[in-house]
Each structure stands twice: as C-alpha cells, then as structure tokens.
Amino acid sequence: MRLLPLFAVPTALSCGLLAFAQPTPGAPRSRSTTQDQATLVAVRAAHHADFDRVVFEFDGPLPAERDVRYVPEVIGDPSGNPVPLVGDAFLNVRMAFATGHDDSGDTTYGAPRRTYPLPNVIQVVNAGDFEGVLNFGIGVARQSPVRLSVLTGPSRVVIDIDTPFRTVPAQAFFLDVARFEAATEPYTRAVSRPVIPPATAHGALQRLFAGPTESELAQRLAFVDSDATGFTGLAIVDSIARVRLTGGCSSHGSTFSIAEEITRTLKQFPSVHWVKIYDPAGHTERPDGAVDSIPECLEP
C-alpha cells in the first residue's frame, strides 16, 4: 500500500482571467546576489468574502519579478515535466530573484505540496526552485479572475482568485491510518469539502485526489492512491457511477486500496447505489449489472 505524500495590496494589477506583474522598474536582469535575493518563508491560503487568497511571504526584499497566469498544465523547472496538480484550471506563479531553500538545500517555507478546503483553491504545489527563480502551481476548481499584488512589512506576494459561484458541502473519505493499524472498521474517515453544484460528485472526487490538508495529515489521515494519478470519464446513469483511473493501478498487495475511498466518496450521493471503477486501460471485473466492481489491479 502506498500513501500519497502531501506536504502535499497596495495596488491590484488586473482583474481579468489573465493577470501578471511586470518586473520592478530598474531591477537587474542577471542572476540575483545573496544580498538582494528574497527567501520564501511561508505559504498561506484563506477564503475572504468573494475570493480565495494565496500569500507567499518572504524574508528580505520582494522578488524583483513576479507574475501569475493560467496555463494548460504546470511544467516543472528545470525538469520540463508536468507537475501533478488537481483542479479544473491551473495557475502558474513565477517569482524571480527568490529562493525557497537554504545553503544546505533544505526547504525554508515548509511543505512543498499543500491541499486547502477552500471554495476555489484546491492545491498549491512547488513547481521549481532553480537559479533564483521560484515557480508554484495553483489548482483551482473553476477558472475565474485573478489578481496579483504585493505587500511589505513583511514582504508578501498576494494572489487573489475570485469565487463567483455557490458551493455546497460534500465529503471525501480518506484512510484513517490509526484505525487501519488497529484493524478497526471502517478504515475511512470523512472530511468536509466545498464543491460547486451541479457537478458535486466530480468535485468530491477532485477533493479526494487532492489528499488531506496539513492538519488532517497531522491527524493521521492519508490518501491511498494505488498508483493512480487522477480520474476521468465520471458518469452516473441508472444509479451506477462509473469512473476510470488515470496513471497507474496497483493495490501493492494491500487489502485497502483507492477503491474503498472512491466508492465511499461517491455513495454519499443519493443518485449513486453502485460504483464501477475501471483501470487506465478501461477494464473492470464486473462491468454489467447492479453491483460494485473494481479492476483486477486493485485486488489484494
């Protein structure tokens, strides 16, 4: 069984779907020196009246260059590989003349992957810390207007993402490690998440795949991914929910797999009586009939 690690304004510049800040006038274009380089010391996110706010706090000056924009996918720097991120839309935040590690290479701001139970912000994930350039990806539930601004005392880069929609509470079911170790059923525990109607089942699965928040991790909740990186093709017809895993699929011999988390998360909805989970190739053991079904790769 593999557990997904989760570690995880003075002036608004734009209020459209694409917002970015220009480099500070007169800022040097070459690699920054230790003296003028900002060090990231905290990442926070919270909901306000009609927007979610993500804050990057720095020790030292503000990053001389900073921008935020929607992208089809967040690409890691310098790997060039897509960064796993949950959401229906993705923001890339770039901050130059900044670092997120100390001289020993240790992270200076805490967990590089974080999940948030906010209306729009689902995840904030580090996408690069290389040669004085910091990149982060933000996965959101819906693409909406975004603004970048800065604050001083201390230095902060602020990303505000509008929430012009209604949400309703839904549950995501994660493995309770303590109950599993004690062989005390049920092995899952429900946590509440905001989702956007009418696609509440889709939203609940998204929140499941994002994993627990930092406080939930401290309570020994975990997301067992069984090598899956996401899901696709969720459909509910005649009380049967069908969903296909993406990425990989393996129980690694455990009696507990992602199947239990998905099944319990989907069965909270009155329209779902049975759940059929398909592997990435589109196979499940019992595709027909009013019964639950998992693929062979999720068998112990």
CB contact at 8 A, 4 and 121: no
Domains along the sequence of the chain with CATH: 38-162 (2.60.40.3500), 168-298 (no CATH)
Token pair, residue 160, equals: 């505000």
Strand partners, 128: 77, 135
CB contact at 8 A, 94 and 123: no
Average pLDDT over residues 27-46: 70
| Cα–Cα distance, 154 to 59 (Å, whole number) | 7
Residue among 142, 208, 143 at smallest CA distance from 170? 208
pTM of the shown model: 0.87
What are 41-87's pLDDT values in tens digits? 999 999 999 999 999 999 999 999 999 999 999 999 999 999 999 99
- β-sheet with 221-222: strand ranges across: 188-195, 168-176, 221-222
Whether residue 198 has a cis bond before it, omega within 30° of 0:
yes
pLDDT score, position 55: 98
| Cα–Cα distance, 62 to 252 (Å, whole number) | 46
pLDDT score, position 36: 83
Mean per-residue pLDDT of the chain? 90
What are 92-146's pLDDT values in tens digits? 999 999 999 999 999 999 999 999 999 999 999 999 999 999 999 999 999 999 9
What are 1-26's pLDDT values in tens digits? 444 433 332 223 333 333 333 333 33
- β-sheet with 65-71: strand ranges across: 65-71, 89-96, 133-140, 121-130, 113-115
Name the helix (H) or strand (E) containing 266.
helix 258-266
- β-sheet with 274-278: strand ranges across: 228-237, 240-247, 274-278
pLDDT of residue 215 exceeding 90, the answer is: yes
Show the beta-strand stretches assigned E in the chain.
38-47, 51-59, 65-71, 89-96, 98-99, 113-115, 121-130, 133-140, 146-151, 155-162, 168-176, 188-195, 221-222, 228-237, 240-247, 274-278
CB contact at 8 A, 114 and 6: yes
CB contact at 8 A, 2 and 226: yes
